[in-house]
Amino acid sequence: MAKTASDSTAPNTGCAVCPYCGVGCGLKVELEGGRVARVRGDATHRGTHGMLCRKAVYLPQAVNAPDRLAQPQMRLGRDQPWQTASWDAALGSAAERLRRIVARHGPESIAFYISGQLLTEDYYVVNKLAKGFLGTNNVDSNSRLCMASAASSYQLAFGSDGPPCAYDDFDVADCFRFIRSNAADTHPVLFQRALRRKAADPEHVTIVVIDPRRTATARAADVHIQLRPGTDVPLLQGLLHVLIRDGLVQDEFIREHTSGWDAVGANAAAWTPDRAAATCGISPQSIVDVARRFAEASAALSCWAMGLNQAVDGVDRSLALVNLHLSTGQIGRPGAGPFSLTGQPNAMGGREVGGLAGLLPG
């Protein structure tokens, strides 16, 4: 947390980022007597503009919880009790043990598993310690499991695993598709931006939810496609079939900006609305309706999360979704694109500075 200047009587105020979900809301944190006293939204934060959900509001209670570990604890053996230690003693002991392990077993015997809640600078220091100093490549993070399917699909489709969207797209999109994402609960600040956009232009803005469950997100939607679990690829291919059949794809965009279209189109040809609907347990007309809403929107934004990613065919699901945007040109302009909503706020930042075993900084 970065502190700002203050006089001796006023509480210290600093800037921080909420760690609780993938949104990463900007925080203003007030300290009194060295303790977190209050948390409010940072109105200058470019991504969240002062908005918060209740998770961040209750950070002071979590940070000041009486059972929260506030000092290092050490024990001489697993059968020995924990004892409070100084930071110097704890860090010195950890460093000495790492040296002994490397000397006896080699650097590959050490691994670091880190979190997408770390700041980019923290990620970099961990990689400097592990790969640059200790000599182990065994550094992995939540990117390995959390949104790995989405990152892989981005890499395959675009050559880079960064989402081609921004939070500001929520303010200008006129077709939102939340696919296997309960954003109302898991990414509430972003979902509130979608609802505000809907309220500002209710006749033209549409919210579509594709999810087997009737979630809080689904209850707020204009259209809820309640498909059978595990049938995401057939549904997405059925949508692409309709786009091709009804002449809703952008041939010029496909020709100038994509490759492999013939194979993609041939695969989608087999997934008629009737076949896809039978597989998914929904009506054929609902597939046609959602496809047309998507293609005819001025700017369509597709948001998905772990419900799409964490499956044996997770990469196929994400790629099928990306293909819908590439086939219609719904990408690369304000309010349009495939937007993976991750579980922790700095997974992308971690990958940029080597936060996986297969990556190096930069």
pLDDT digits (tens, 9 = 90+) for 143-170: 888 889 999 999 999 999 889 999 999 9
With residue 54 as reference, give the H or E element that holds it. Answer: helix 54-57
- pLDDT score, position 13: 87
The model scores a pTM over 0.85: yes
- Residue with the two structure tokens 């203050």: 6
Q: How far apart are CA 238 and CA 291, in angstroms?
A: 9
Higher-scoring residue by pLDDT: 348, 327: 327
Higher-scoring residue by pLDDT: 155, 360: 155
pLDDT digits (tens, 9 = 90+) for 66-114: 999 989 999 988 999 999 999 999 999 999 999 999 999 999 999 999 9
Residue of 291, 264, 287, 290 lying closest to 274 (CA atoms): 287
**What domains are there in the chain, each with its CATH number?**
2-63 (3.30.200.210), 102-146+345-362 (no CATH), 160-340 (3.40.228.10)
Average pLDDT, the chain: 94
- pLDDT score, position 10: 53
Q: How far apart are CA 178 and CA 301, in angstroms?
A: 9
Tokens of 356: 């996986």
Helices and strands of the chain, counted as H and E runs: 16, 13
- pLDDT score, position 199: 98
- pLDDT score, position 9: 46
Q: How far is CA 31 from the centre of its chain?
A: 30
Q: Are 118 and 125 in contact (CB under 8 A)?
A: no
- pLDDT score, position 361: 83
pLDDT digits (tens, 9 = 90+) for 178-228: 999 999 999 999 999 999 999 999 999 999 999 999 999 999 999 999 999
- Residue with the two structure tokens 């880190």: 114
Residue 11 — very low, low, confident or very high, per pLDDT cuts 50/70/90?
low
Across the range 264-290, mean pLDDT stands at 98
Amino acid symbol at 231: T
Q: Are 144 and 347 in contact (CB under 8 A)?
A: no
Is the per-residue pLDDT at 3 higher than 60?
no
Q: How far apart are CA 43 and CA 49, in angstroms?
A: 5
Q: How far apart are CA 90 and CA 33, in angstroms?
A: 25
- pLDDT score, position 333: 95
Burial label, 190 (beta-carbon count in 10 A; 0-12, 13-18, 19+): buried
